[in-house]
Structure 1
Amino acid sequence: MINSHKYTLAGCLAILIWSTTVGLVRNVAEQLGPIGGAAMIYSVSAVFLLIFLGAPRFKVFSLKYLLIGGSLFVSYEICLSLALGMANNRIQAVEMGVINYLWPSLVVLLAVLHSNKPVDKRLYPAIALSFFGVAWTVGGDQGISISQLASNIATNPLSYSMALAGAFIWAFYCSVTKQLANGKNAITWFFMATAMALWVTYFISDEPAIAFTSSAVIDLVITGIAMGSGYALWNIGIIGGNMMLLATLSYFTPLLSTFFSALILDIELTVTFWQGVVMVTVASLLCWWFTRDKPSSAIVDAEYIKAD
């Protein structure tokens, strides 16, 4: 029982750590650049995971898992990190984090589309609520206004597009990886691949040379270790922790992430913004609630629940 509590605590710590990554990644991007900063972050995380989790031999993984799962993982991480780094300002960066949390509802939607079994009709309004919550957040203080929403997105269409694409990519990753992985976890290799892809992107871009300062290095190390330790602790948590509790807690990540992001980035968010975040969180919980007793349409296998 004591060991079980330890595993569960590790999982809870993973959720808390993941909740800080939006603010931490943005903080590093402001100092080292959106692409170069992301490349450095994933390099540090890859080294951390290599030390603490190791890198299993390629032979233990199926080729489909490495190619398909790896491509989806790398694509998602690049979309999210660059969306955060390229946001026009800190508040917009937090908006990117909220958009990212559409993925739990999208996983359910994909499960519904691929299932031939009856689905609780209340699920559809719950999925719609998640999109409404994002629109409410991005729309600004005036609430839902198509013209205002379009105007806000037009200020940085690339970041908004990458954040939304990332949510869909991660939902698809969660939907297909369980079958492809066969119980294996190549997270260390995936982080290394992400770092390499970001370095290639950096060298072919016109982003200025990375200028290191003592504060930037400290923030970089903290962020890299936070991302790596989140995965490492989650690995421990799923071994013998209370997955029902951990899965439930993970759906509160939008609220936790927004809180920590505002704290780390020293910004004040409006009541309207928080209302949108609450809608996204409630929508995710409702999606889980309406599918919890239907194994065929389960949101995501415990190994692939992700909170960042």
Structure 2
Amino acid sequence: MNATLLGVGALALWAFLGLLSRLAAGIPPLQLTAMSFAVAAMAGIAVVAARGRLSALRQSPIAWAHGVGGLFGYHALYFAALAMAPAIEANLLNYLWPLLIVLFSAPILGLRLGARRLLGVALGFAGCVLLLGGGAGFSAGAPASVWLGFLCAIGCAVVWALYSVTAQRLSAVPTEAVAGFCGGAALLAALAHLGFEATVWPDAAQALATLLLGLGPVGLAFFLWDAGMKRGDPRLLGTLAYAVPVASTLLLAVAGEGALTATLGIALLLVAGGGWLAATAR
């Protein structure tokens, strides 16, 4: 299967990240990171073992630092952002990472962007700005914790963009190694949780949301994304990812975390139009 299509599959799963994170609300961010990655690691290692590929977990310290640091850093910041700031606004700030992936690809990987692709990026970015501008969470009187949540959302966008773009520099690392990186992220998050948070025992709904997180957006999606970024087109994936904040926002709105408005419809057209321009660029 085309590697870029695998990356698109990861984008589809990530559309549910915000909704499932909100359904797990009440679990501290580091604890949620540890639990969801523990599920992802157990499922991933089971599949890798069944394929007889456990040797793929033996990687260099640089590969482990890149994998564990990227996965842990992004999700710890993301879950913290959704815990402190309004869900829709924080979720959309996080989705600055597609823009950053496209822009980072030029200086880091030496890939040409081109006018048409840049126009697609600009339209997608305009859609995000329009959505953010219509959000109620951005006000001067917001509590300090809300602004800290917004900073965490921006931070996770930067972390994920850098992780994704630099993954092509580690293209020799097999995708199966992601299972080990998930285990490392779970361990690191668990240690941080024990040092900084009080443990909350999840109820049935929170446990189900955590399980689905670990199997989907925090599990299978990483294997698909790793293959897409290492062997696909990071510029195209970075721009097509602008469809994810729209889908994620719609899911949050349907779940009662925000309202569907005309602004959302216009933003959807901008994001979809930007993705189409980038997809048809030579």
Task: Work out whether the TM-score is over 0.5.
Answer: yes
Q: Deviations over 1:82-111 (max 9, x none)?
A: 222333xxxx21222222222222122122
One-letter amino acid of the counterpart of residue 107, structure 1 = I
Give the secondary structure class of the aligned counterpart of 1:156.
helix
**Deviations for 1:239-292, whole angstroms, at most 9, x for unmatched residues?**
x99x99988865522222222233345642333345445545544554x348x5
Structure 1 position 211, deviation (Å): 2.7
State the alpha-carbon separation in 1 of the partners of residues 180 and 129 from structure 2: 35
From 213, 229, 245, the equivalent of 2:203 is: 213
Q: Find 2:71's aligned residue among 70, 73, 76.
A: 73
Could you tell me which runs of 5 or more consecutive residues in structure 2 were left unpaired when the two chains were aligned. none
Q: Which amino acid aligns with 1:63?
A: P
- 1:44-193 alignment runs, 5 A limit: 44-54=39-49, 56-57=54-55, 60-87=58-85, 92-114=86-108, 120-121=114-115, 124=118, 126-140=120-134, 156-185=146-175, 186-193=177-184
Does the C-alpha gap of structure 1 residues 172 and 235 become closer, same or farther in structure 2, counting only changes over 3 Å?
closer
| Identical columns (%) | 25
State how far apart, in whole Å, the 1-side matches of 2:227 and 2:73 are. Answer: 25
Of the three residues 12, 17, 20, the one matched with 1:16 is 12
Q: What is residue 37 of structure 1 aligned with on the other side?
A: 32
Q: Deviations over 1:209-256 (max 9, x none)?
A: 313323322232223222323345667999x99x99988865522222
**In 2, Cα distance between equivalents of 1:113 and 1:8:** 21
CA distance in structure 2 between the aligned counterparts of 1:212 and 1:155, rounded to whole angstroms: 24
Deviations along 1:51-81, one digit per CA (max 9) or x if unpaired, are 2234743675333222234323321222222
Q: What secondary structure, in the 3-state scheme, does the structure 2 residue paired with 1:53 have?
A: helix
Give a deviation string over 1:172-200, Cα, whole Å, max 9, x none: 11221112231522211221122222222
Contact 1:251/1:285, CA 8 A, preserved across alignment: no
Structure 2: distance between partners of 1:217 and 1:39 = 13
Give a deviation string over 1:133-176, Cα, whole Å, max 9, x none.
Answer: 3333223369xxxxx66556966122111111211222111221
Tell me the distance in 1 between the aligned counterparts of 2:135 and 2:57.
53
Distance in 1 (CA, whole Å) between partners of 2:93 and 2:42 is 29
Q: Is the 8 A contact 1:129 1:279 kept in 2?
A: yes
Q: Give the superposition deviation at 1:24.
A: 0.2
Q: Distance in 2 between matches of 1:101 and 1:189?
A: 26
Q: Which amino acid aligns with 2:100?
A: L
Matched, 1:198 2:198: no
Taking the aligned partners of 1:83 and 1:74, their CA distance within structure 2 comes to 14
Deviation at 1:123, TM superposition (A): 5.1
The equivalent residue for 2:23 is 27
Aligned length: 276
CA distance change for structure 1 residues 46 and 264 in 2, over 3 Å: closer, same or farther?
farther
2:120–2:239 CA contact under 8 A, matched in 1:
no
Determine the structure 1 residue equivalent to 2:254: 263
CA distance, structure 2, for counterparts of residue 109 and residue 237 of structure 1? 17
What letter is aligned with 2:22? R
Which residues of 2 match residues 246-257 of structure 1 at below 5 A?
251-257=242-248
The amino acid of 1:199's aligned partner reads A
Alpha-carbon contact 1:33-1:210 (below 8 Å) kept: yes
* 1:297 aligned residue: none
- Please report how far the alpha carbon of residue 23 of structure 1 lies from its aligned counterpart in structure 2 after TM superposition: 0.5
Question: Is there any run of 5+ residues in structure 1 with no aligned partner, and where?
Answer: 143-147, 294-308
* Cα distance in 1, alignment partners of residues 109 and 43 from structure 2: 39
> Cα gap change, 1:27/1:257 in structure 2, threshold over 3 Å: closer, same or farther?
same
Kept after mapping to 2: 8 A contact 1:21/1:223: yes
Aligned alpha-carbon RMSD (Å): 4.1
Aligned counterpart, 1:300: none
